[in-house]
Amino acid sequence: EEEDDPYLMHEDKEESMMNKLTNKAVIPTPLRIGFLGLGIMGQGMVMNLLRSGHEVTIWNRTAAKTREFSKAGAFRGNSPADVVQSCDITFTCVSDSVAVRDVVFGNQGVLQGITKGKCYVEMSTVDEETVQDVADAVMARGGTFLEAPVCGSRVPALEGQLIILTSGDRKLYDDCYSCFEAMGRKSFYLGNEVGTATRMKLIHNMLLGTMMASLAEGMALAEKVGLDQEDFAEVLSLGSLSCPTINHKAQAILNQRHDPHFPLQHQQKDLRLVLSMGDSVEQPLFLAAAANELYKKARRLGYGEGDISAVYRAACS
């Protein structure tokens, strides 16, 4: 049973990681691809780029994580600047705006490698202001910019099933096409205005965060009023609320397995960012604001690096 459920996969099963990778027929671009950030998302994305025949040069702050990727055929860069210099298009997928600013504006950062014609694609989910600052800086040096945050967590990243939301330079989007085919189920070009893709991504994750919080409270309440949580999970899975998030996360709660597929601290970051976006247009977001408090509590309890499903621990504490 457990083996079949991708959301319950053990982190250390490297073979199962390889089994999840896509076998899609993609005609790879001959352009040289760089990738910065080998976190939960970056790992699957890079493996799928390599698998589909792209030439990929990687860098990660913690260098040890690059080892298995160089075994799989990736080249290694010494710094973000080094990767950008040796590649045509460089993608970044790191945790948050602090990480993005370090990678882009830091010593030996992306900017130091940007010259006329270099292309940079930001795939991290950060606030619009950071995306705009990065876009401005890249373009001021003659580079081209695309933002491309993704919907989906560890398993969709491994399976090449991400939903890729993009906005920025149209030609760069076209040049990235084979990469997006390798990494995603579908990519959207939402327009040339920087920030558009980020806005859609944040609203998507607002729904994810509130749904997950609601499931956590429901499971906690079920237990408190003497119901069998397993029965409740089955009822959910057979009705109209059945969806991968509800079904897999209910199982994670039942099995008390919170190894990270989507780290809880990133979900809380996204709620924080969407609340600020709502604020900027005077849109009330009652549910997101309440959910955010539950995630803050879960972080406080030490579950920040666990899966989003660990918000249950805050709901039942």
User: Out of 118, 201, 249, 269, which one is annotated catalytic?
Assistant: 201
Burial of 119 (0-12, 13-18, 19+ CB in 10 A): buried
User: CA 137 to CA 279: how far, in whole Å?
Assistant: 26
> Residue 4 carries which DSSP code?
G
- C-beta closer to ligand NA7: residue 119 or 202: 202
Note whether 125 binds ligand NA7 by CB under 6 A.
Answer: yes
Task: Return the C-alpha torsion angle 159, 163, 166, 171, nearest 10.
Answer: 50
Residue number with the shortest CB distance to ligand NA7?
Answer: 39
- Which of 13, 70, 78, 98: binder of ligand NA7 (CB under 6 A)? 98
Task: Please check whether residue 96 is in contact with residue 73, taking contact to mean a CB–CB distance below 8 angstroms.
Answer: no
Per the rule left: phi > 0, alpha: psi between -120 and 50, beta: everything else, 160 is left
Note whether 210 binds ligand NA7 by CB under 6 A.
Answer: no
Restricted to residues 46-85, the positions that interact with ligand NA7 (CB under 6 A) are: 60-62, 65
Task: Please check whether residue 275 is in contact with residue 292, taking contact to mean a CB–CB distance below 8 angstroms.
Answer: yes
Note whether 266 binds ligand NA7 by CB under 6 A.
Answer: yes
Q: Other C-beta atoms within 10 Å of 140: how many?
A: 10
- Which of 9, 103, 135, 236: binder of ligand NA7 (CB under 6 A)? 103
Note whether 42 binds ligand NA7 by CB under 6 A.
Answer: yes
Note whether 161 binds ligand NA7 by CB under 6 A.
Answer: no
* Whether residue 201 lies in the annotated active site: yes
Note whether 94 binds ligand NA7 by CB under 6 A.
Answer: yes
- The distance of Cα 310 from the centroid of its chain, to the nearest Å, equals 18
- C-beta closer to ligand NA7: residue 110 or 138: 110
**Least Cβ distance, residue 31 to ligand NA7 (angstroms):** 23
**Contact footprint for ligand NA7 (CB under 6 A):** 37-42, 60-62, 65, 93-96, 98-99, 102-103, 124-125, 263, 266
